[in-house]
């Protein structure tokens, strides 16, 4: 008798979407292709119970299409919980464009992507993410109204990154209050990994507060620029061995993984990157056991979505800042809830977010 042994690749082929390990009952996954502009994009709509699925578009040179698919599935799911816990009437969605943003992004490609977004009639609303900026969203706006994060001169709320950074700063201060008994970050050693749009703005808040800031990035020119501008130190060693109080992941996700989790010496992890835990159960639990306070990423990096939500709801800067500042209170509440219920901070945040979605589902049924 012959026994068929399936390899990982066969499994991927036999269950290409619904069988992906990042698939979590997503409502819709849209593959977009355009030969003329070279566009290859995937739009993931995870959940639209609370409202239209809003989430940024990431342009990245993925190693494989599987990586792109898993990224969009993970990111769109994260958006569902981010909006739910922040109290916004939005669902979770995200898009990825496969390619190098520096060399392959053109206005024609962005317009074509916008046409695909438009074809979903508002079920998915886009915004910027890694590899995108406000001007790209302005280009998308030429072909669809289902886009946020456009320039202030065109009626948008502008670049969301400074607001995201402010929310991360609030979440970090709340974690410090919980862990150290004081939210004053003066003299605290903080390592910011990734000093892009959000990371750099976070560095500014931290230096204003008198924190002892270290920066790390793969972009050497940027490191020089930011270190000179804010008088911060460039960290040259391996980030995961750094002897610091706070580790702020502000580059890409999954940096807390099997290879790194047991090396981290920081007592707080609070950063902007989405999906910091490679495996939210395993790695969240290890952090909890090691006494490392993990401020859930989707909770503390919600400033950007608060900012773009203002474009849909028409509220102003003052309300944006009030909602973003409230990340401090929510974070503190969740850290305490996790302790009281002996669960990880990530699970505590997920539970509260899921509850809000379930409540709305019940309301909709009645």
| Closer of 161 and 344 to ligand NAD (Cβ) | 161
Which helix (H) or strand (E) segment is 141 a member of? helix 134-141
| Closer of 158 and 199 to ligand NAD (Cβ) | 199
For ligand NAD, the binding residue among 1, 218, 221, 365 (CB under 6 A) is: 218
Q: How far is the CB of 195 from ligand NAD (least distance, A)?
A: 6
The candidate with the shortest Cα–Cα distance to 300, out of 157, 174, 197, 114, is 174
Contact assessment for residue 234 and residue 215, using Cβ atoms and an 8 Å cutoff: yes
The window from 85-93, 228-236, 270-278, 344-352 that contacts ligand NAD (CB under 6 A) reads 270-278
Q: How far is the CB of 158 from ligand NAD (least distance, A)?
A: 11
| Closer of 239 and 332 to ligand NAD (Cβ) | 239
Q: How far is the CB of 342 from ligand NAD (least distance, A)?
A: 29
Please report where in the chains the tokens 């809000």 appear, as a residue.
Answer: 356
Under rule CB under 6 A, residue 304 binds ligand NAD: yes
| Closer of 39 and 226 to ligand NAD (Cβ) | 226
Q: How far is the CB of 230 from ligand NAD (least distance, A)?
A: 15
DSSP string, 43-72: EEEEE-SSSSEE--EEEE--SSHHHHHHHH
Print the binding letters for residues 118-157 with ligand NAD: x by CB under 6 A, - otherwise.
Answer: -----------xx---------------------------
Q: How far apart are CA 12 and CA 145, in angstroms?
A: 36
Q: How far apart are CA 185 and CA 180, in angstroms?
A: 10
Q: How far is the CB of 50 from ligand NAD (least distance, A)?
A: 18
| Closer of 279 and 339 to ligand NAD (Cβ) | 279
Both tokens of 205, joined, read 């808040």
Which helix (H) or strand (E) segment is 355 a member of? helix 345-365
The window from 47-55, 89-97, 114-122, 190-198 that contacts ligand NAD (CB under 6 A) reads 190-198
Contact assessment for residue 248 and residue 202, using Cβ atoms and an 8 Å cutoff: yes
For ligand NAD, the binding residue among 91, 93, 194, 284 (CB under 6 A) is: 194
- 202-to-164, 169, 174, 207 alpha-carbon distances in Å: 9, 7, 15, 9
Under rule CB under 6 A, residue 164 binds ligand NAD: yes
Phi and psi at residue 19, in whole multiples of 5°? Answer: -95, 0
Chain-centroid distance of CA 77 in Å reads: 10
Instruction: Name residues contacting ligand NAD, limited to 221-250 (CB under 6 A).
Output: 222, 250
For ligand NAD, the binding residue among 59, 84, 198, 226 (CB under 6 A) is: 198
Distance in angstroms between the alpha carbons of the first and the last residue of the chain: 55
Under rule CB under 6 A, residue 68 binds ligand NAD: no
Under rule CB under 6 A, residue 20 binds ligand NAD: no
Q: Give catalytic status of residue 94 as yes or no.
A: yes
Both tokens of 297, joined, read 């990423």
Under rule CB under 6 A, residue 197 binds ligand NAD: yes
Which helix (H) or strand (E) segment is 79 a member of? helix 65-86
Q: How far is the CB of 130 from ligand NAD (least distance, A)?
A: 4
Task: Report the DSSP beta bridge partners of residue 350.
Answer: none
Under rule CB under 6 A, residue 39 binds ligand NAD: no
Sign of the Cα pseudo-torsion (289, 293, 299, 304, in order): negative
C-alpha angle with apex 299: 172 to 165, nearest 5 degrees?
Answer: 50
For ligand NAD, the binding residue among 79, 85, 147, 195 (CB under 6 A) is: 195
Q: How far is the CB of 57 from ligand NAD (least distance, A)?
A: 11
Say which residues have a Cβ less than 8 Å from residue 169's Cβ, sequence separation at least 6: 202, 205, 206
For ligand NAD, the binding residue among 39, 50, 251, 334 (CB under 6 A) is: 251
The catalytic residue among 40, 94, 112, 179 is 94
Q: In what order do the strands lie in the sheet with 293-294?
A: 233-234, 212-216, 189-193, 246-249, 268-269, 293-294
Where in the sequence numbering do the catalytic residues fall?
Answer: 94
- Binding residues for ligand NAD (CB under 6 A): 129-130, 160-161, 164, 193-199, 216-219, 222, 250-253, 272-274, 301, 304
């Amino acid at each position: 008798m012959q026994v068929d042994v399936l390899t990982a690749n066969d499994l991927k082929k036999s269950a290409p979407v619904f069988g992906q390990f990042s698939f979590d009952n997503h409502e819709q996954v849209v593959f977009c292709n355009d030969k003329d502009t070279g566009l290859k994009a995937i739009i993931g709509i995870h959940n639209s119970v609370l409202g239209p699925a809003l989430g940024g578009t990431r342009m990245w040179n993925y190693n494989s299409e599987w990586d792109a698919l898993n990224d969009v599935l993970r990111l769109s799911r994260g958006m569902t919980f981010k909006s739910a816990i922040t109290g916004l009437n939005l669902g979770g969605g995200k898009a990825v464009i496969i390619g190098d943003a520096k060399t392959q992004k053109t206005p024609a490609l962005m317009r074509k992507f916008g046409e695909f977004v438009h074809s979903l009639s508002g079920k998915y609303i886009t915004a910027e993410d890694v590899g995108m900026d406000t001007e790209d969203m302005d280009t998308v706006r030429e072909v669809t109204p289902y886009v946020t994060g456009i320039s202030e001169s065109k009626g948008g709320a502008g670049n969301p990154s400074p607001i995201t950074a402010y929310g991360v700063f609030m979440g970090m201060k709340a974690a410090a209050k919980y862990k150290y008994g004081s939210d004053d970050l003066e003299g605290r050693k903080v390592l910011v990994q990734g000093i892009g749009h959000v990371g750099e703005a976070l560095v500014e808040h931290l230096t204003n507060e008198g924190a002892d800031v270290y920066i790390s990035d793969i972009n050497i020119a940027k490191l020089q620029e930011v270190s000179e501008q804010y008088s911060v130190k460039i960290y040259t060693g391996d980030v995961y061995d750094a002897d610091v109080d706070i580790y702020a992941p502000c580059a890409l996700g999954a940096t807390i993984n099997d290879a790194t989790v047991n090396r981290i010496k920081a007592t707080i992890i609070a950063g902007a990157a989405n999906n910091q835990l490679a495996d939210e159960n395993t790695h969240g639990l290890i952090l909890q056991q090691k006494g490392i306070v993990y401020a859930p990423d989707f909770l503390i990096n919600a400033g950007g979505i608060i900012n773009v939500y203002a474009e849909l709801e028409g509220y102003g800067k003052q309300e944006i800042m009030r909602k973003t500042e409230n990340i401090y209170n929510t974070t503190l509440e969740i850290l305490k809830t996790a302790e009281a219920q002996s669960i990880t901070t990530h699970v505590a945040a997920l539970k509260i977010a899921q509850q809000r979605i379930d409540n709305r589902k019940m309301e909709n049924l009645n």
